[in-house]
Structures are given as C-alpha cells and as structure tokens.
A = this chain, B = another copy of it.
Amino acid sequence: MKRSIYLFQAFLLSAIAVIAQRPPSISSPAVHPDHSITFRYFSRKAQKVTLNGEFLKAPVALTKDTSGIWSVTVPPVKPDIYPYSFRVDSVELADPNNTYIFANERFKRSIVDVPGDQPLIHSLQNVPHGKVSYRYYKSGTLGITRQLLVYTPPGFNPNSKTKYPVLYLIHGGSDTEETWTKVGRANLIADNLIAQGKAKPMIIVMPYGNVRPAPMPDFTKDMVNDIVPFIEANYPVGKDSKSRAVAGFSVGGGQTLNIGLTNPDKFAYVCSYAPYTATEEFKKNFTDWSPNAGQMNGQLKLFTISVGTDDFLYESVKQNIALFKEKGLKVEPLIVPGGHTWMNCKLYLAHTLPQLFK
C-alpha cells in the first residue's frame, strides 16, 4: 500500500512537470456584472498586444504585469455576443483561454457572451430546449457527402402526424454550417420564441453553403435537389411551399434570393439578411429578369430583406430592394442600426421567426 502511495507521488511530480511547461491558466474573457469585460493574454516575449472586438470602434492596447500577463478592461458594453481577437505583435489570433471560437474558414476569432440584466432572446433560459443534430447527406449535385445541422424543436415527435414546417438557414461567405448555432444561437432563439408562443414549432436546417467556384447556381441545385429531399425523406415535414422558408446572411443572403426567387413554387418565405449580390450569377439571374410579379406576390407569403444602416452593403442592399420593387414585387424591408455583423444576424432571425408559417 505504502509503495503505491510513493509511486503515485512520483508520478504526480512528473505530471506536474509536464503541466508546468504549459502557460498559466488565466481567465479570459471575464465578463463583470456591470458588463465591462477584462481580456487577458499571457506572453513574456510579446512587444505589443492589442484587442480588436466588434464592441470597439478601434483596437485597444493591453498592458503587461510583472508575471507576463497582459490585460485590459473595456467599459460596459451593450449585452450581446461579440467576436474579438488579439493582435500579438504582427499576429492576429483567437483568445487561447476562451473555448468559444467563431466557426469560420478564413479567420480564427473568439466570441464573448455578455449577458443582459434580463435574459436576451438568444440567452439560455429555463425553457424546454430543442436539439441540434449533426448529420451527413449525399449531395448528388456536388458528388460528395456533406454535413448539415438540423434543429428540432422541444418535444419533437419523429412520428408526428402533424407535419412540421422547415426553415433552411444559410450562413455567410466564409462561415460554416456551425456558425448559425455557435455564433448566431439560432437554436436558443427558436427555443425562446417557441416558449413565448411567438414562433411556431419548426425544424431549422443549417447546411454548409460554400460551393466553389459557383456558389449561387450549384448551391441552389444542392438545396433544391439534395438538401430538401434529404430532410423530407427523414423528418415529418410539410412538402408544400407554405411549409418551406429560406433565409441567409451575406453571401447566404444572396443565395437566399437566388434559391427563393427562382423557386417561388417551392419556398413561400424568402428572408434575405444583408445580401451580398455583387456576383456574376446574381446579375445574370436578376438584371434582365422579368418576373410575373402578380403571380409571384401570390406565391410568396413573405419576402423580406434586412440590413443595418452601418452595413458596408447598406447602399447595395437598398438598391436590391429598389430593384425588386421596380419589378413589382412586394418586398418588406427591415432597416435597423448596426453593421454587417452576427449581432445583427441574431436580430434579423428573431424578427423573422414569428412571421413564418402563420
């Protein structure tokens, strides 16, 4: 018995030696009750560390203490979920001490969740929760097996005789199929609005929208010929246009217009968030386009385009709205403060869900 204890002590020491080679465990970000936030980064060798965050107008510098821990406390910010990153000398990086990463293909940023004094629409609240399932489907269009995420609402019954409606929800240009849940909290927004009786129980499908080199036409085919049939074969869902909505942000907002307006017989709800439409394919589809506006207005139960007044695409999106109005389409603009951000995405989604499937 004693022998075992001594041996354990020896191994404890060797384990401590291994662990000691790691940087110290530090708390970052630390969100304080007044909504100020302290960010920390450990480096003995860095010359300069700055914080960039979507709650800041400009980067702020961290200062180093004698133990090599750099820190800065920013004044109270409006409760929300914000992306941020550090710049350490010439290197931009995610916060090593923060588990929560912005799901993206081009950059690595962290996210900080600043809770409100009252729960926000995207907060984890004490309500029934749906679940988010990671699934694989075969894309005949693309010739590969891809992943998508499926939110099913609280109490979802896979053998339901009442058919669920489905929102197909598309991320932005360099995001992934995880961005709408990891950064956009689409599942919690749906949980909360369903619990409040403001949204109908629905399925939300979050595919991976990036298709190169032809994001618009190939992804529209993938959606119509592969994703929708996969969902309709595997879930008890309505198979008419009034049971289908499509929404998306940025490049996904452009894809939404492409998918929705070229298939108004298949999607009765088309919700485009800050669409990026400066693509050859968008122009090809829409500039010489002469829709039968009367028929399309009858087919679409909701056609909305949302944008923030600080969005770098604001002027472009206003032109999109004008273009569709010029064609005689009934489009409902949602113009709000804010930029081309995932803070605004959550707001757009929370505004959309109560309008669907009524």
Across the A-B interface, the 6 shortest Cβ-Cβ residue pairs:
A45-B90, A11-B316, A12-B278, A93-B93, A133-B133, A132-B134
Q: Can you name 18 A-B residue pairings with CB atoms under 8 Å?
A: A1-B288, A5-B283, A8-B277, A11-B316, A15-B278, A22-B106, A25-B106, A44-B90, A88-B90, A92-B96, A93-B94, A93-B108, A99-B103, A101-B108, A108-B108, A129-B135, A132-B134, A134-B181
- Complex Cα distance, B126 from A131, in Å, reads 26
CA–CA, A99 to B107, complex, Å? 8
| Inter-chain contacts of A108 with B (CB < 8 A) | 93-94, 96, 101, 108
A53-91: CB near B (< 8 Å → 1, else 0) gives 000000000000000000000000000000000001111
Quick check: is A158 within 8 A (CB to CB) of the other chain?
yes
A323 adjacent to chain B (CB < 8 Å): yes
With A4-B323, A94-B108, A124-B136 known, 10 other A-B pairs at CB within 8 A are: A1-B288, A5-B287, A8-B277, A8-B316, A15-B276, A15-B316, A25-B106, A43-B90, A129-B135, A159-B159
- With beta carbons under 8 angstroms apart, the residue of B18, B126, B288 that contacts A312 is B18
Q: Is the CB of B129 within 8 A of A46?
A: no
For residue A243, which residues in chain B have a CB less than 8 angstroms away from its CB?
none
**Distance (Å) between the CB of A28 and the closest chain B CB?**
11
Question: Is the beta-carbon distance between B1 and A287 smaller than 8 angstroms?
Answer: yes
A interface list, Cβ under 8 A from B: 1, 4-5, 7-8, 11-12, 14-15, 18, 22, 25, 43-46, 88-94, 96-97, 99, 101, 103-108, 124, 126, 129, 131-136, 145, 158-159, 176, 181, 187, 276-278, 283, 287-288, 312-313, 315-316, 319, 323
Complex Cα spacing A283 to B6, Å? 11
Known: A278-B12, A287-B8. A94 touches B94 (CB 8 A): yes
B99 touches A319 (CB 8 A): no
A179 to nearest B CB, angstroms?
11
Known contacts A15-B276, A15-B278, A129-B135; decide if A106 and B101 are in contact (CB<8 Å): no
Candidates B14, B124, B312; contact of A14 at CB < 8 Å: B312
What's the least CB distance linking A18 to chain B, in Å? 5
For residue A96, which residues in chain B have a CB less than 8 angstroms away from its CB? Answer: 92-93, 106-108
A5 closest partner in B (C-beta) = B287
Q: B319 and A7: CB pair below 8 A?
A: yes
